[in-house]
Structure formats: C-alpha cells, structure tokens
Structure 1
Amino acid sequence: MIRSASLLLLVLGLLAAEPGYAQQKRATDKAGTEKPRKLTRREKKEMQRQAALEAAKAQQQSQLTEKDREMSAAYFVDGVKYMLLEDYPKAQERLLKAYQIDPNNAAINYKIAENNLLIGNLKDAANFAQAALRLDAKNPYYYLILAQIYATQKQYDQAAQVYTRLIQDVPESKSYLFNLADLYLAQGKLNEALSTFDQAEKEFGTLDEVSFKKQQIYLKQNNLDKALKEGEALISANPEDIRYVLAQAEMYAANNRLPDAIRVANQALRKDPENPQAHMILADAYRQQGNQAESEKQIKQAFQSPALGIDQKVRILVDYLKQLPNPAVQQTALELADITTRVHPKEAKAYSVAGDVQLLSEKKALARDNYLRALRLDNSHFKIWQQVVLIDAELTQTDSLLRHTNQALELFPNQAVFWFYNGVGHMFAKQPQKAVKALEQGKKLTTDNPELAAQFDTQLGDAYHELKDYDKSDAAYEAALTFDANNAQALNNYSYYLSLRGKELAKAKELAGKLVKLFPDNDTYLDTYAWVLYKSKDYAGARQYLEKAIKTSKDGTVLEHYGDVLYQLGDTAAAVEQWQQAKKAGGTSALIDRKIKERKLYE
C-alpha cells in the first residue's frame, strides 16, 4: 500500500508541476466551464516512464537497510569533502562506493557527473548526469550540469535541447532562457538567440543586458536600423548612463553616419564635458569629414584627461609613429606626446613613447631627455638604454656616452652593444687604451653574431692604430673585411691609415678604389682615395677626385689636402688660398699655419 500511495502522489505531482500544461489555455464551453483535455501519446508515455522509474527507485530504497543508507550517506559526504579539497581521485572513489550501495540516488549520480566533469572524463560525466536527470527530472541543477558537459564538448545542439527541456519541464525556470540565448549566440544561431531573448523579455520585461545583446546581434546581421533603435531604447531607459550614449555615437561613426555620430557625442559631452571617449569619437568623425583642425582639437582635449588611460594613449601615439616623419602629423604627434608626459608624470611608458615620437621627428636631444626620465622611473628596459647611448654617439657627446654606457653595463653586463659604445666613447675621449679594453671585452660576447663581431673589429682597427699597434690594427680590419668585403668604415680607415704610413699603397689604392665605386658621391671617401693617390704620387688623379669632393664638402682636412695637391702640381698661389680656407673651416693639421706663412708644403 505504501508503494501504491507514493506512486499515486508522484503521478498527481507530475500533472501539477508540468509547466507545459500550466501554460496552456484550457478550452471552455459556452457556459464558461473547463473542458477536460486529453493527454497526448507522448505525455502518457513520459508519465508511464516516470512512474516506472519512481517505482523502481522506491523498491530499491525499500530494500536498503538503515545501515546501508548510513554508509552510502557517509561515503557521499566524504566524496563531497574531497571534491571541495580538489582531491578528485579520492572524491571519485568515495562517490562510487556510495553509488554501489545506492545507484538510484539522483544526488549521488549528479556528484559523480560533476567530479568526472572536473577531471575531464566527459563521457562518464554525461552518463551519470543523464542518470541523475532520469531519476529526478525536476531538479534544475541536473539539467545545468548536463548542458555544461555538452557545451564543453561543443555539442551545442544537445546542450540547447537540455535547456529547452529544463525551461519546459521545471517550474520557475524561465530565467534559463538567458543561458539558452547565449548558447545560441555561441553557435552563431542569431535568429534563435533573438527569439529566445524576446521570450525572456516577455517574462521579465526589458533588460539593459538583453537590449545590448540584441543590438550586437542586429549589427552582425547588418540590420543597422534595428541596432540603432535598441540603442535609443537603452538611452531612453537609462538617461543618466553615458555609456549607452557613447556606444550609440560609436555605432553611428562606425557606419559612416558622421553627423549623427557628432550629434550624439556632443550629447554625451553635455552630460560629461571632460569625457575623453566622446572627444575621441568627435576627433575621428571630424577627421573622416576632412576637418583636420577640429579633429586635432578634439584629440588634444581627450589626451588632457587622465581618464583616457596611458595604454590607450600609447596605442594612439604608436599610430602616429607609423606615419612619421610626416610634416602633416608631426606637430600634432609632438604635442600629444608632451600632453601625455604632463598628464602621466609617473608613467615610464609615457616618457618612452614621447622619446620615440621626438626621435622620429629629428629632435634627438629632447628624445634622449625623455628616455632618461623613463629610465629614472624604470631602469629595466634594455631597448631604452640602447636608444640613449645611440643618441649620445650620434651627437658625439663623449661624457654622456661614457656615463650612460657605464650605467647600462651595471645592469646589462652581458650585452655587447654597451661595451661597443663604451669603446666608442673612449675613442671620442682620445683614450684608445681604454677603448681597446672595452672593445675586446665586448667582442667576447659576439660568438654567435659575426656581423656584430665585424663592427667590433672595425673599431678595434681604429683603436689599435691610435696606439700605433699597426699589426693588430691591420689584423682587425682584415677580420672585418673577411666577414663583409664592402664594410665602408673598414675600407675607408684601413686604406687611409695605410696611406698615412706609406705602407702597402697598392693595397690601399685597391681598397679605396672599391670604396668610391660603392659610394661615388661621398666626399669623405673621395678624399680618402685622393689621398692614397697623392701618397702614390699620382697628383693629377688626386686633384680630379678632390675637386669632386670639395663640391659638397667644406671640411678643413679635405681643403688642406686639395691645397697640398695643388702645391705639388706647381700652383702655389692656389694652394695657399686652399690652405687659408681650410684654416677657417677648422680640423686641419698642426702644420697649416706654417704652410700659409711660408707658402710652402710641410708634411
């Protein structure tokens, strides 16, 4: 009798709880009384199946002793504890022991499914979740875990079917319409998602999140009018929330509705006059309209706001960097860089990007100052140190180059580039011995970089020459040219120094001749070749190349050389005139005054 009573209660409960039935309008006769509705074959079959399950469950439960129930419950609690501790193997062991005692317990099946899901055993997870659902079709959590298992395996259709059953079969479960709609979105089923969101709105009214998602769907469907309509609804429903106004303005701008974008962005500024996003939208819209002055004004106003984050400002400035050097954008880029450092004085990246803008705008000293400010805030950036020493070297600022390379070497002792420029700095300072020490140390770090090793060899050739260690100087140049036979600095200095020493003039002529073939208009290289010819007593040839060089060069050394050649060719007056011009230009030999005074060549 107990079993019969429970079965009767189950059937009555199923009839009462079935959401599909509750939602249907009952047919009424003319007198207004309800007509009984016949159950469909499917409904009858489902009722029979549930009744059979409940009967089997009741029978099995009746066969369990009190001790069995206690043991199963103990294993179950133990398993849940281990799941909380994330010891999933022990949790699985305990839960399966509980299952062996009480296999028709829906909660045990559910927890085994959950544990299998956590360890990635999706097949077993699905089987146990389905069992839990068969045993208790009114528990929403059993539907949810089964849907999650399907979704994890990208079986979105099955997951959607589970959500649909949940919404139909379990009372008070309409909130899962949102999950179902999101699932459709994940599959790209936009129409189904829209339909489901519409159902949710009928149940719960208009919701901002739903309106926003519908708007995104309309955009994907290229239905701009409906997307804009949803946006206007969001603005009307949230008159004080500027986010929706800005989103609407961006939508207009993205779809080339520029007057509307400007109108709505200004609407946002009336609510928040300093809003940087509104200014950025206006800047972009005016730029597309060709109103460059207004666009620049708006972007500068946006940059004045700390609310426009440093990362976004850096991204914008990087876009400007890609256009430099370009006079049309250079001034704006420089002003935006200055604003960025002023608004974000404690951000290293603000000074770093400002330095990049200034460097590409040929404002090297300013760039170096900003790089140094960045390093004072964060000295860990190798590339910024590298930029600093490169600028020092380009500006030939010896003290700065030595100071900054020494600082960099304290942080990056294994970076060859800093040893290289430290050596260059000592060469600038007329300290060839220290230069050799730095260059030899740095060269040891170039074993896997033959190109960089060749640059070290070129500098070592210069340094050893200054020390009058000519064998090592020649060997260094030879090593550099072995790697790169067209190394201009090595070709130039090696041939010039050979000519100064009066050694291997044929080789010097070959090296310098190759150089002027590679760079026929370079006045320095033309002077080198001319001087090799001069040392070879080919004065006419030397004159030819020097006359070409002085067309573009006002260097004192070149002019002095030209005077020497003219003297050797017997034109003393012209020689003295060139020596006088050379003295005015500077950079001449120590004999220049004597040459002028005595109108005679001294070497």
Structure 2
Amino acid sequence: MRMRPFTVGAVVLSLWAGASRAQGLGTGPGPGGTAPEAVETKPAKLSRKERKALAQQLEIEAKKAAAHPPLSPKERELSEALYTDGVKYVILEDYPKALERLLKAYTLMPENAAVNYKLAEANLLSGNLRDATGYAEAAVKLDAKNPYYYLILAQAQASQKQYEAATATYASLVKEVPNSGSYLFQLADLYLAQNKLPEALATLEKAQAQFGSIDEIAFKKQQIYLRQNNLPLALKEGENLIAANPTEPRFVLAQAEMYAANNRLPDAIRVAEQALRLDPGNPQARLILADVYRQQNQPTEVEKQLRLAFDSPALEVDQEVRILANYVKQLPDPKVAPLALDLASATVRNHPRDAKAHSVAGDVQMQSGHKKEARNSYLQALKYDKSKYQLWQQVVLLDAELSQTDSLLVHSDAALELFPNQAPLWFYNGAGHLMKKQPQQAVQALEHGRRLAAGNAEQQSQFDAQLGDAYQELKDYPKSEAAYEAALAVDPNNYGVLNNYSYFLSLRGEKLDKAKEMAGRTVAKFPDNDTYLDTYAWVLYKQKDYAGAKQNLEKALRTTKDASILEHYGDVLWQMGEHSGALAAWQRARKAGPGTSLLLDRKIKEQKLIEN
C-alpha cells in the first residue's frame, strides 16, 4: 500500500507562539512577560525517594543554568529577531539565509525546542537529512508533548529510508502526546510499508476502538487481509463497507473487483450489477463485467460491455488509453480491428481536446491500415500538445508513406523548430526535398542529419542511402557511389540501395557487371517485384542481352502497367526488331501516365527508337 505522505512544516509556528511558548520565551519575567501570581499553598510532605529525585533534578538544572545563564533583555530581543528572520526565510524557501539566522539563534538558546524544530525543518527542506534528524531529535527531547516535533523527525527518518526509526517515532507520538490518535493511521501506513501486517492491523484496531467503524479503517484492514491471503475476512470488510454506505457505488465496485480477481465470477457479476442499479451509467461496473466475461470466454458480452463503458463521458481518458493500448498489440487482426476503431472513436468523442485521446486513436488507425486517418489523428494530438517528439515522427513517417511531399516538408520543418537535434527529422526533411526534386536542399538536410547520427551506424546507413540518390540527381557521381558504398558496408543486403545503385549505373552505362550482380541479387530475393525486375532488365538491356531484358520486363508487366516499364519494354522490342510491338508499347506507356522519359513523344511521332 502506498504510504501516506508526511507533512513537512505542516504548521508554521507563528513566530514564538505554539512550540516556543513552552520554552518560556515571552512568558516569564522580563520583556514581553509577567511573573505569575504567587499562590499560597501548604507544602506536601515528600518521601525519601522523592526528595532524592528532586535533589538530582535541581543539580541538573543548576548545571544547565551555569552552562547557559539566563539571557539578558538585549540577548532575548536579538534571539527573537533572529528566529523571526529565520522563519521568514524558511517560508521564502531561502534556506541558506534561514539556516544562518536560526543557527545564530541556536547559539543563544541551544535548548529551545522551537529553534531546534525550525533548524530541523530548514535542513530537511534543503536536503541535509542527517542534521535535520539531529535537530528534530533534540526538539522532541526538549518538548515531548508537541506533535509537530515528532512529525518532522519521522519525515527526516523516512526520507533516509529509516522506516523502523520513523515507526518508533510515530509510536512515541501516539503514546506521549494527548489527543494524537489521528496519527495512528500514519503509523499503520508505516507498518504496511515495511510489510509488518500484524502490527499494522493492531494499530488499526486501536484506531477503530478510538474512532469507531469508519471507512478508511475498514478499507485498510481489507487491504491487509488481502496481503495475508485471507479472502474471507477481506470480503467481510467489503460487505461492512457496503452496509455502512448503501448508496455509495465505489465500495460495491471494489467488492466486485475483489470477486473477479479471485475467480469468484458469478459473485463478481452479481455485485457489479448491484453497482449498476445504484448508478446505471457507471463505466467501471461495465469494465468489471467485460473482464469477467472475457474470463468466461464470452466475446459478444465483452464487446457489449466495453462499448457501453466507452460511451460514458465519465470514463477517464487514461483508462481508455490503457485498454486501447492492449488492442493495438493485437492489430491488424481483422477480428479485433472493428471494435478497436469504434472504441478509439468513442475516446476522441469523449475527450476531444485531449492529446492522448487523439494519439491512441492514431495508433489504432495506423495499425489497422488506415494511414491517412492516423496521420490526421496525430496532427490533432499535436494541436493540443506539440511537445511529444514521437507524434511528430509518426506524422512525417506517414507523410512520406502517403507521398504527401508538401506536407512532409511543412511538418518536418515545424518539428525541427522544436527538435533541431533529432536526426530522424532531418532524414525525413531531406527525403521530402528529394521527392520534391530539390536535391541541393536534400543534400544539406541529409548531411546535417548524418552528422547528428554520429555513433549510430544504422541511422547513418539510412542517410547514406538517401545521399546516394541525392548526389545522383546532382550528377555528382563519385559522391553518389561513395554514399551507396557506405550504406552497403553497414548493410550489404539493403535491397533498396542495391536496386537504385545498379539502376543509376545502368543509366550511365558504367560498371555494368557490378550493376548486374547487384540487380541480380535483388531479383533473386524478390522475384515478383516489378520495380526490381525493371532494373535488372535495364542492366541486361545495356549489356545488349535483349532476350533476357524482355523476359524480365514481361514478368514485371504481369503485375503492373507502370509507364516507365512499358516504355522500356518498347525499347527492348525495337532492339529485337519487333517495331510494331515497340510502337504499341510506347503508346500504352503514354496513356499510362507520368514516369516516362522526355523522349517518349518523339519515339511515337517518329516511330523509331531515340536514345540519348
């Protein structure tokens, strides 16, 4: 069980009031005080033992008086001023100044409990736990009836994980200070923190004897019984709570959860339905029922209860996020996706201005294959919280996958304003410029990002792959080849790089044997990929292996009508003497759309192959 927090400086003593009053400051003869009136009484006859104890006490007091003679009026005024100043700086959280003043007051009155207390508090708040403990112990010894001195001591001890000592301090507080029974609850919490369950239970029994049957005691006892694996007594305390609070659903729900957690499923259903009779729209009861029906393998009932729970605006967004996160792990299972998508929509509907709601909806949509909707959900999340780097990363990733070049540049620029040192954002920004046919800007972004990725070979390899393409566009072929080689040095089976590298070599008619080897490996791995087949065919074409080129292009055209592949097919047919077939392929390429060479229209018009 979580320990009840201690109170540091729960009551700031009003200058010399309260704790200091017991020390005689401003209460005896001298400035600020008057001597008590003499009361004539008849002396009582003391026993021999009592006379001896009194003599010893008088001797102790005499030694104290000799060591610390009474303060002069001026010293008393100075000590009060120093203390007041110290208290002020504690309140202002200027602990060095507070300690300076209080220590000066301490030199004048080392046995003043209030001064020791404030020194303990200032040291505790400034992190000097050892000194805090020492001064707090002194305060308790000097005034054993002030509860705040015990509290500051327990706080200092607990902050140093001295839980046994803190427990002893609370026990002394309850024993020594009148009307301090309310601290039995903190004492019980400390016993619980140390897993001293019998002691905690006994302490709560004392509290119950003093305060009667109250909810907090019953609830804590219930938790102890659960930790002792004593389910019958835990359930009995739960029934007591329900009986004492017949119109309060939370105790009913707690009982239902306990039944469900201990496989008492019919009882869990019965009590959860009891909670619904008290509060028909309670989403927690619906979630308990959904969990029980899941254990009973009743998926239809699970779905029904979840939908009802998510329909309630009272269901907290964090709970909805946790439930949906479990569904995200199961996606893209088609059996799960419809329910997950509906629950995500309900979450957004209930919490339209919460970034977490939109973010988890984006996760569900992305894992379900709804990429455009996912991107929009992530953008909505960013509308309410721009500080989450992961959201920006998801947005630019989806921009790239959706080929939304303008959006990719806008969003990556916006993200880089917030996270300029994140290499992946520079990668996507560079990729956006490359897609936009802006190779110079692409190189600048990619080179900068690559420097940020220093020490991460995998990330740098990704940058090198893009730099190879960018430098190719700039016709800086040595740098292009160097970038490709660097990428392949890290990952020799980067098939995207192998494809692009071999294709660009074929376009230039350079290192065709190397190009064929790389393109051949790629096709061997992905024999049905039309892009890779087209690259391999074009390398063969450049080597004048027209039959091989034709074979690979025809295989590619079984699955695609890509314009550039159709144009290549026409070129191959022309070289093989099939001129009418070539012209037909070129015409089909023009109808297919963009992606063809600038020479295609001339080929069709002049009805012959034209090459650079």
Matched, 1:286 2:293: yes
- Compute the displacement of 1:65 (Å): 11
Aligned-partner Cα distance in 2 for 1:98–1:261: 64
Moved more, 236-245 or 454-463: 454-463
In structure 2, do the counterparts of structure 1 residues 9 and 504 end up closer, same or farther at CA, with 3 Å as the change threshold?
A: farther
- Compute the displacement of 1:499 (Å): 2.0
- Compute the displacement of 1:161 (Å): 5.4
Contact preservation (8 Å) 1:258, 1:285: yes
1:330-381 Cα offsets, whole Å, 9 max, x none, are 1111111111112222222222221121111110111122222223334444
Task: Report the TM-score when normalising by structure 2.
Answer: 0.76
Contact preservation (8 Å) 1:72, 1:98: no
Contact preservation (8 Å) 1:436, 1:460: no
Contact preservation (8 Å) 2:124, 2:156: yes
Describe the SS at the equivalent of 1:322: helix
Moved more, 65-74 or 329-338: 65-74
Matched, 1:439 2:449: no
Moved more, 355-364 or 88-97: 88-97
- What's 1:534 paired with? 541
Q: Relative contact order (alpha carbons < 8 A, sep ≥ 6): 1 or 2 greater?
A: 2
Matched, 1:238 2:232: no
Structure 1 counterpart of 2:372, from 365, 378, 391: 365
1:161-188 Cα offsets, whole Å, 9 max, x none, are 5655665666555555444433332332
- Partner amino acid, structure 2, of 1:321: V
Q: Counterparts of 1:445-484 in structure 2 under 5 Å?
A: 445-449=449-453, 451-466=458-473, 468=475, 470=477, 473-484=480-491
1:284-311 Cα offsets, whole Å, 9 max, x none, are 2222222222222222222233322223
- What's 2:257 paired with? 250
- Partner amino acid, structure 2, of 1:322: K
| % identity of equivalent residues | 57
Describe the SS at the equivalent of 1:182: helix
Aligned-partner Cα distance in 1 for 2:232–2:224: 12
Aligned-partner Cα distance in 1 for 2:152–2:397: 61
**Structure 2, unpaired ranges of 5+:** 1-37, 91-97
- Partner amino acid, structure 2, of 1:442: L
- Compute the displacement of 1:222 (Å): 0.6
1:223-262 Cα offsets, whole Å, 9 max, x none, are 1111111111111112222221221122112212222222
Matched, 1:95 2:106: yes
Task: Report the TM-score when normalising by structure 1.
Answer: 0.77
Describe the SS at the equivalent of 1:542: helix
- What's 1:383 paired with? 390
- What's 1:511 paired with? 518
Contact preservation (8 Å) 2:470, 2:480: yes
Contact preservation (8 Å) 2:412, 2:425: yes
Matched, 1:331 2:342: no
In structure 2, do the counterparts of structure 1 residues 163 and 72 end up closer, same or farther at CA, with 3 Å as the change threshold?
A: farther
- Structure (1 or 2) with the larger CA radius of gyration: 1
- What's 2:11 paired with? none
Moved more, 124-133 or 379-388: 124-133
- Compute the displacement of 1:55 (Å): 4.5
Matched, 1:198 2:201: no
Describe the SS at the equivalent of 1:328: coil
Aligned-partner Cα distance in 2 for 1:200–1:114: 28
- Partner amino acid, structure 2, of 1:443: E
- What's 2:347 paired with? 340
- What's 1:128 paired with? 138
Aligned-partner Cα distance in 2 for 1:413–1:168: 61
Matched, 1:217 2:224: yes
- Compute the displacement of 1:328 (Å): 2.2
- Compute the displacement of 1:492 (Å): 1.6
- Partner amino acid, structure 2, of 1:250: E
1:112-156 Cα offsets, whole Å, 9 max, x none, are 7777777532664476357436xxx66666666666666566555
Aligned-partner Cα distance in 2 for 1:109–1:67: 18
- Partner amino acid, structure 2, of 1:446: R
Aligned-partner Cα distance in 2 for 1:123–1:217: 30
In structure 2, do the counterparts of structure 1 residues 164 and 440 end up closer, same or farther at CA, with 3 Å as the change threshold?
A: closer
Aligned-partner Cα distance in 1 for 2:447–2:61: 86
Describe the SS at the equivalent of 1:274: coil
Structure 1 counterpart of 2:190, from 183, 186, 197: 183
Aligned-partner Cα distance in 2 for 1:464–1:166: 77
- Compute the displacement of 1:394 (Å): 1.7
Aligned-partner Cα distance in 2 for 1:324–1:496: 37
Aligned-partner Cα distance in 2 for 1:492–1:65: 92
- What's 2:17 paired with? none
- What's 2:308 paired with? 301
Contact preservation (8 Å) 2:442, 2:470: no
Aligned-partner Cα distance in 2 for 1:272–1:382: 40
In structure 2, do the counterparts of structure 1 residues 466 and 197 end up closer, same or farther at CA, with 3 Å as the change threshold?
A: closer
Matched, 1:81 2:110: no
- Partner amino acid, structure 1, of 2:323: I
1:44-70 Cα offsets, whole Å, 9 max, x none, are 99x899756655466679989995486
- Compute the displacement of 1:504 (Å): 3.0
Aligned-partner Cα distance in 2 for 1:597–1:62: 120
- Partner amino acid, structure 2, of 1:354: A
- Compute the displacement of 1:317 (Å): 1.9
In structure 2, do the counterparts of structure 1 residues 109 and 84 end up closer, same or farther at CA, with 3 Å as the change threshold?
A: closer
Contact preservation (8 Å) 2:439, 2:474: no
Aligned-partner Cα distance in 2 for 1:59–1:492: 98
Describe the SS at the equivalent of 2:369: coil
- What's 1:208 paired with? 215
Contact preservation (8 Å) 1:375, 1:384: yes
- Partner amino acid, structure 2, of 1:492: N
Aligned-partner Cα distance in 1 for 2:428–2:157: 62
Moved more, 252-261 or 117-126: 117-126
Aligned-partner Cα distance in 2 for 1:108–1:405: 59
- Compute the displacement of 1:508 (Å): 2.2
